[in-house]
Structures are given as C-alpha cells and as structure tokens.
C-alpha cells in the first residue's frame, strides 16, 4: 500500500501543476496592450523618419529631384532601385511602422469602455488625419496597394486595390474626420508630438492636408478636386507657426535621420553634396536661402554644386548645410509655404477665387522667413521679410515677369522651397512637370536612364504575395519605375 502511495504521489503533483501552467505564459517583459497615445507617438516618429531620411536604403527622392547628388556611390542617383531594398524599406516603414500602430491605437480606443464619446471622437480623428497622410504617401509612391484587406493578420495575402479607389476612400475618411477634430473631449496630448493637443492647429492641419491631396488629383479628376479645394481653402495654415513639424531631439536614436547619415559626429561617411541642378539657378537668383541650404565649397566663398549622377570629390563642392544636419533639426510633414503654393495653383486652375500672384508671393516669403528664422547665425529675424522682398523684386522671381507658364513659375519656386523635402518635391515635380530635369548621361553612364515616376513594388512581395502583386502590376500597366500613376497625366 505504501508503495502504491509513493507511486502515485508524483501524479498528484502533476495535476496540481497543469492548471497553473497558464500563468507561465504571460510575458513579464513586454506588455500585451499599450496605451493608444504611445502607439500614436511611435507612429508619428515612424512617418517622420521614413519621409525625412536621406538613407540610400530608404529614401532617395532628394536625388531624384536633383537637390543633392552623391560623391562615390552612383547606383542611387542613377535610379537603381534593385541593388538595395529601397521599395521594401519605404513600404515596410509605412505599413508596419505607422499604419499598424495607428490601427492598434484605434482598436484600443474603440474598446475602451471608460472613455467618453467626445474624447473617443477627437482622438480617433487625430489618428485618422495621420493615417490618411500615410495612406496617401503609399498610394502616391506605388500606385495600387493593399488597402481594404490590409492590416488583417488572418489574411496573409491581401489583394491590391485600385489606387484611385483607395484615394477616394481616404479623402472620404478625411472629410468624416475633420469635423470630429472639434468634437470637444480630451485629445491625445502628450503623445501628440506635432501639436501637443492643440485642436485649432489640427483643424488647419487636416484642411491643409485635404487641400494638398485634392490638388494632386487636379489633372485627373478636376471636378472633385475643385469641390474639395474650395471646401478646404479657407481653413488652411495661415503662418509658419502652423507647420506640421516633427520635433527631433538631439540624442540618438531619436535624432534626425539626416544627422545620422551626414553629421560627422555620428558618421564618417561623406556621401552627399549639393547638385549643381539646384545651386546654379539659386546662384543666378542670389537666393538668400543658400546660406541655410548649403555650405560654401571648399576654401572658396562660393556655392558650387556637383554634377548630378557623376563622381564628385567631396571637398570641392558645397555640402548640405550645418543647420540641416543638426540632430535636432525638425522634420516637416506639411508646411505653410507649400500650402500657399497650392492656393496659388488653385487660383490658376480656377478652383478658387483670389490672386495667384499674391499667394505666390506669400509662399516664397514664407519659405525665406522660415529658413531665416531657423538659422542660428541670423541675429535679426526681421531680416526674413526684407530678404524675401528683395528676392521677389527680381524680374526672374516676381510672378508677373518670371519665365514660363504658371506651372513653370510655381513648379520652379516650389521646388526650391521644398529643398530637403525630397519625397514631397518628387510628387510635385511629377504633377507640375517643372523644373525640367534630365537624367545623367555621357561618360560611363548607362544609356536610357529615366527619372522614376513611381517606385516599384518591393521585390519581396513577389514571394510573399506573388499572385496579387502580379495582378496589380498588370492593372497599372507594368510594375516599372516608368509607369505613371493615375493622376500623373502630363
């Protein structure tokens, strides 16, 4: 009998333990739920990082619009997108790094039984605005992308939706969200790294975004574009104080990715210099922003740009200025000067009433004032308006007398104003088709290069979601960097 008890004792131990094994499966190191404000904050950082980074593995748009060029490594300025995982980095950076977190934040807010309805509305609206911006970034880069079936872990093979359909859907979402920004209630405050919960500025941000997104489809869907522009125009940014800026801090890893890749404190690489494509016109116009955009070249006091797409010796040309490579240099998502250029264009297209010249002047002034104010060497901020006025007085700058059609005038000045915002500048260049940029040629440059008008789908999608990607490639007319998006009519 004793033996039997001894034999069965361990079995008793068994049953005692099996039930409590569940407790052993709760991770003591990482949480299974997170507060929505923290997810929002992480998403904003992901968005700013992807759009601002100059890293050749992620974002080469400053090269495509020929604001910068490289010294030694010529693959990226010559539009090679397969040597590195460039499409995948952008894709993943936005899908996984931004939308996934916003999605989860939305889920947690909706599931929160203790939150008041108005608070929920306002916070969801903040999330919506950022998410719409992110979806727009994806659609305007790749074209058809997974949208309706995305963000669902049960479905590892989401189908790619038509780009225009997605765009219309997100514009609709933005329209629904905008009034909710003023629902009252407690907005996301501490996690809101753009405006710290200032809803008045959020309303302007939302409307400025609507204006921008609407103008993008101006050539393909002018009716809709006009309607949306007219709605948004009165409520957009009114000064540089309203800029949607992401506040990088000076300590790694939350510092500006430009600093990470260009600042000698953090890297010894010397890959980028200013391109002559942008410096030469600025030299001709005595553009005051050169002080903030570039360093002087070597020992000269001049601004000299390198040949785009060719080998250049770092020390002989102007580099990116010390101001821009500061680790705490802010990352802009949307700014006032951009908004004014859009309004000028809207007037020219007949979408709103007003004076294109007036908006143009405000836009250029805003840009010059912004850069002047940021420059720590500028002792007096009031030099900004004075400089702008002097600049605009030149016949080649003044709206009435500048060269070309309104597209060329706005296109060229906007290109200068969007210096350092490569991705946005690339979108505008595709839309307005000015300034005229030529791909590199001659020497040992391979023949037949063209500037990309979209980014190809990530190579890895061919193995992960091959059938759907094939279908999408067929639908857009080929998964190539030369396939134009639906709004890029000209």
Partner 1 sequence: MKSLLLAFAFGVLLCPAHTIAQSREITGKVMAATDSSWLPGVSVRIAGSQSGTLTNENGEFRINARQGQTLLFSFVGFLNQSIKVPASGHVNVKLDQDELSLNEVVITAGGLTAQRRELGSQSTTLKSQELTQGKPTSVAASLAGRVPGLLVMGVSSGINPAFRLVLRGNRSLTGNNQALVIIDNMISTSDILANINPEDIDDIQVLNGAGAAALYGSDASNGALIVTTKKGKSGKTEIRVSHTATIEKVSFLPQLQSGFGSGTTPDDVPTYTPYENQQFGPAFDGSMVNIGKPLQDGSIQTVPYSAKNSREDFWKTGLTNQTDLSISSGDEKSTYYLSAQYTNQHSTIPYEAFKRYSVRANSSRHIYKNLTASFNTNFVATRSDMSNATATAYQNLLMSPSQVDVTQYKDWQNNPFGNPNGYFNEYAPNPYFSLANNRALARYDYFQGNMELKWNPIKPLSFLYRVGVTTKNYSGKSRIGKFTYSDYTKSISGSSKTDIPGNVSDFIGFNTQLVNDFIAEFKTNLTQHLSFSSALGTTFRENGNKLVFVAGTGLVINDLYNIGNSLSNPAAAEENYKTRQIGVYGETRFGFKDFLYLHITGRNDWRSILSKSNRSFFYPSADISFIATDAIPALGESGFLRTLKIRGGYSKVGQVNLGNVFNLGAYSLNSTFSQGFGYPYSSGAGFGLDNKLVAADIKPEMTIGSEAGIDFEIAPLSVAGGVTFYKTNTFNQTISVLVSAATGYQSLTTNVGEVQNNGIESYLNITPVKLANGLEISLAANYTFNRNKVLSLSDQSEQLPLANDGTTARILAKVGSPFPLLQTTRYNRDPEGRIIVDPVTGYPATNGTFYDVGITNPPHILGVNGTIKFRKLRFNVLFEYRNGHYIYNSISTGYDFSGAGLRTAWYNRDRFVIPNSSYKNADGQYVANTNITVRSGGADFWTDATRNRSIGENYANSAGFWKLREASLRYDLPASLLSKTSFIHGITVSAQGRNLFVWVPKSNLYTDPEYSQNGVDSNAVGFTNLAQTPPARYFGGTLSFTF
Question: What is the footprint of partner 1 within residues 409-448 (CB under 8 A)?
Answer: none
**Binding of residue 186 to partner 1 (CB under 8 A):** no
478: left (phi over 0), alpha (psi -120 to 50) or beta: left
Using the contact rule CB under 8 A, the part of the chain among 33-41, 279-287, 353-361, 482-490 near partner 1 is: 33-41
Q: Taking each helix axis as running N to C, give the angle between helix 356-374 and helix 336-349, from 0 to 180 degrees, rounded to the nearest 10.
A: 170
**Binding of residue 490 to partner 1 (CB under 8 A):** no
Distance CA 283, CA 399 (A): 19
**Binding of residue 13 to partner 1 (CB under 8 A):** yes
Q: Say if strands 160-161 and 272-274 run parallel, antiparallel, or are unpaired.
A: unpaired
Spatial CB neighbours of 477, under 8 Å, sequence gap ≥ 6: 483
| Residues within window 253-292 making contact with partner 1, judged by CB under 8 A | 253-254, 264, 268, 270
**Binding of residue 252 to partner 1 (CB under 8 A):** yes
Using the contact rule CB under 8 A, the part of the chain among 51-59, 198-206, 248-256, 289-297 near partner 1 is: 248-256
Using the contact rule CB under 8 A, the part of the chain among 188-196, 280-288, 345-353, 371-379 near partner 1 is: 188-196
Among 69, 399, 465, 472, the residue binding partner 1 under the rule CB under 8 A is: 465
Among 27, 223, 299, 377, the residue binding partner 1 under the rule CB under 8 A is: 27
**Cis amide bond preceding 435, omega within 30:** yes
Distance CA 471, CA 320 (A): 42
Could you tell me the smallest distance in angstroms from the CB atom of residue 180 to partner 1?
Answer: 23
Among 176, 389, 464, 480, the residue binding partner 1 under the rule CB under 8 A is: 464
What SS3 state is found at 18?
helix
Could you tell me the smallest distance in angstroms from the CB atom of residue 262 to partner 1?
Answer: 12
User: 146 - beta bridge partners?
Assistant: 160
Q: Kind and range of the H or E element at 432?
A: helix 422-432
From the number of C-beta atoms within 10 Å of its C-beta (0-12, 13-18, 19+), residue 297 rates as: buried
**Binding of residue 32 to partner 1 (CB under 8 A):** yes
Q: Residues 333-352 vs partner 1: string with x where CB under 8 A?
A: --------------------
Among 1, 5, 6, 111, the residue binding partner 1 under the rule CB under 8 A is: 6
Within 10 A of 189 (CB to CB), how many other CB atoms are there?
12
If the CB atoms of residues 155 and 381 are measured against partner 1, the closer one turns out to be 155
Q: Residues 209-238 vs partner 1: string with x where CB under 8 A?
A: ------------------------------
If the CB atoms of residues 42 and 420 are measured against partner 1, the closer one turns out to be 42
| Residues within window 193-212 making contact with partner 1, judged by CB under 8 A | 193
Phi, psi of 88 (to 5 degrees): -65, -40
Using the contact rule CB under 8 A, the part of the chain among 21-29, 54-62, 122-130, 423-431 near partner 1 is: 21-29
Residue 9 near residue 81, CB atoms below 8 Å: no
Phi, psi of 480 (to 5 degrees): -125, 160
If the CB atoms of residues 20 and 234 are measured against partner 1, the closer one turns out to be 20
If the CB atoms of residues 138 and 278 are measured against partner 1, the closer one turns out to be 138
Could you tell me the smallest distance in angstroms from the CB atom of residue 16 to partner 1?
Answer: 10
Please give the distance of CA 413 from its chain centroid, rounded to a whole number: 19
**Binding of residue 480 to partner 1 (CB under 8 A):** no
Q: Say if strands 331-334 and 272-274 run parallel, antiparallel, or are unpaired.
A: unpaired
**Binding of residue 50 to partner 1 (CB under 8 A):** no
If the CB atoms of residues 121 and 192 are measured against partner 1, the closer one turns out to be 192
From the list 443, 487, 457, the residue with the least C-alpha distance to 77 is 443
Distance CA 448, CA 441 (A): 8
Could you tell me the smallest distance in angstroms from the CB atom of residue 447 to partner 1?
Answer: 12
If the CB atoms of residues 186 and 264 are measured against partner 1, the closer one turns out to be 264
- Residue 129 carries which DSSP code? H
If the CB atoms of residues 35 and 185 are measured against partner 1, the closer one turns out to be 35
| Residues within window 127-156 making contact with partner 1, judged by CB under 8 A | 145-146, 149-153, 155-156
SS3 sequence of 322-375: CCCCCCCCCEEEECHHHHHHHHHHHHHHCCCCCCHHHHHHHHHHHHHHHHHHHC
Number of residues that bind partner 1 (CB under 8 A): 74
Distance CA 61, CA 435 (A): 15
Among 56, 63, 86, 99, the residue binding partner 1 under the rule CB under 8 A is: 99
Distance CA 179, CA 246 (A): 24
């Amino acid at each position: 009998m004793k033996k039997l008890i001894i034999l069965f004792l361990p079995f008793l131990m068994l049953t005692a333990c099996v039930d409590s094994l569940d407790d052993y499966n709760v991770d003591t190191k990482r949480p299974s739920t997170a507060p929505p404000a923290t997810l929002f904050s992480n998403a904003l950082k992901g968005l700013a990082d992807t759009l601002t980074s100059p890293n050749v593995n992620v974002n080469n748009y400053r090269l495509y619009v020929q604001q910068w060029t490289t010294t030694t490594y010529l693959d990226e300025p010559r539009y090679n997108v397969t040597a590195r995982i460039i499409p995948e980095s952008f894709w993943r950076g936005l899908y996984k790094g931004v939308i996934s977190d916003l999605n989860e934040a939305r889920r947690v807010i909706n599931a929160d039984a203790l939150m008041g309805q108005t608070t929920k509305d306002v916070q969801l609206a903040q999330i919506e605005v950022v998410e719409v911006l992110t979806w727009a970034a994806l659609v305007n880069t790749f074209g058809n992308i997974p949208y309706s079936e995305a963000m669902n872990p049960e479905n590892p093979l989401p189908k790619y939706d038509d780009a225009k359909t997605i765009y219309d859907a997100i514009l609709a979402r933005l329209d629904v969200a905008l009034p909710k920004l003023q629902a009252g209630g407690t907005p996301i405050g501490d996690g809101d790294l753009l405006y710290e919960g200032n809803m008045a500025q959020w309303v302007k941000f939302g409307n400025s975004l609507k204006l921008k997104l609407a103008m993008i489809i101006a050539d393909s869907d002018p009716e809709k574009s006009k309607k949306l522009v007219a709605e948004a125009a009165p409520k957009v940014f009114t000064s540089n104080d309203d800029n949607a800026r992401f506040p990088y801090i000076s300590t790694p890893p939350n510092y500006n990715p430009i600093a990470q890749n260009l600042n000698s404190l953090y890297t010894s690489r010397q890959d980028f210099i200013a391109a002559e494509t942008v410096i030469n016109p600025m030299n001709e116009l005595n553009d005051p922003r050169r002080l903030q955009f570039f360093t002087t070249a070597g020992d000269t006091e001049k601004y000299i740009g390198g040949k785009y797409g060719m080998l250049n010796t770092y020390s002989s040309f102007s580099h990116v200025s010390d101001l821009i490579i500061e680790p705490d240099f802010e990352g802009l998502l949307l700014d006032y000067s951009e908004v004014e250029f859009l309004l000028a264009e809207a007037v020219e297209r007949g979408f709103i009433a007003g004076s294109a010249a007036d908006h143009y002047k405000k836009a250029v002034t805003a840009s010059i004032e912004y850069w002047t104010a940021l420059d720590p060497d500028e002792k007096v901020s009031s030099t900004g308006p004075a400089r702008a006025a002097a600049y605009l007085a030149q016949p080649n700058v003044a709206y009435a007398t500048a060269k070309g059609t309104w597209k060329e005038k706005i296109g060229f000045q906007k290109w200068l104003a969007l210096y350092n915002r490569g991705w946005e500048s690339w979108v505008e260049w595709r839309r307005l088709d000015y300034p005229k940029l030529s791909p590199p040629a001659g020497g040992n440059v391979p023949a037949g290069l063209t500037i990309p008008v979209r980014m190809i789908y990530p190579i890895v999608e061919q193995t992960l979601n091959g059938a759907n990607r094939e279908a999408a490639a067929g639908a857009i007319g080929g998964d190539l960097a030369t396939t134009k998006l639906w709004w890029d009519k000209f």
